[in-house]
Amino acid sequence: MIDKSGEWWTGSAFDDLVTYLREVTADSHPAGPVVQSTCECGGRLFTLEADADEGCARRTCTSCGRVAPIADSAEYWDDAEPEAVQCPCGEDAFETGVAIALREDGDVRWITVGVRCVACGVLGAPVDWKIDYSPTDHLLTAA
Ligand SMILES: [Zn+2]
Ligand SMILES: [Zn+2]
């Protein structure tokens, strides 16, 4: 269940982040698939670095330390000035998910990265960016 009563929306499970991402993208880039980030080790908690101007993000697994760019972020990373994403509560470990808006032809149009704080449940969407090339099938699984 999403709790909207406080200053920030909070959720108790990843499904709440999915709902949140559908709501925040509804008026701009309506989310189709929402894919949960999962590390190769099976870990699902990450710290996140993001550059909202450049439009890229990468996650670091809190279990094994493996670093992975989200979607096509590796291509823009060298030009980015990423900052660590931090929850208002001070925590920096999140469940993360990627909301994907699709064009009519099925190509990816927009990427929105969402986070749910493991400590307090606050939901956020710290970075999103446009995809303006094709094909984009590889992005559908690069959460
Ligand atoms: Zn891992
Ligand atoms: Zn928090």
pLDDT tens string 44-83: 999 999 999 999 999 999 999 999 999 999 999 999 999 9
Residue 43 Cα to ligand 2 midpoint, Å, equals: 19
Average pLDDT for residues 94-108, to the nearest whole number? 96
Averaged pLDDT, 104-121: 97
Distance 5 CA to ligand 1 centre (A): 34
Stretch 30-39: mean pLDDT: 97
| Assigned token pair, 105 | 């032809």
For residue 38, what pLDDT is reported? 97
* The residue type at 40: E
pLDDT of residue 1: 87
- Report which residue type is found at 88: P
Nearest residue to 76 (alpha-carbon basis) of 129, 136, 140: 129
Q: What is the mean pLDDT of residues 16-41?
A: 97
Residue 129: count other Cβ atoms within 10 Å of its Cβ: 23
Report pTM.
0.96
Determine the distance separating the centroid of ligand 1 and the alpha carbon of 27, expressed in angstroms. Answer: 34
Instruction: Point out the ligand nearest to the CA of residue 46.
Output: 1
What's the chain's average pLDDT? 96
* Closest ligand by atom to 120 CA: 2
Q: Does position 113 have pLDDT exceeding 90, yes or no?
A: yes
Give, as one character, the DSSP assignment of residue 106: S
Sign of CA dihedral 120, 90, 97, 25: positive
- C-alpha to C-alpha distance for 100 and 91, rounded to whole angstroms: 26
pLDDT (0 to 100) of residue 126: 97
Q: State the distance from the centre of ligand 1 to the C-alpha of 40, rounded, in angstroms.
A: 6
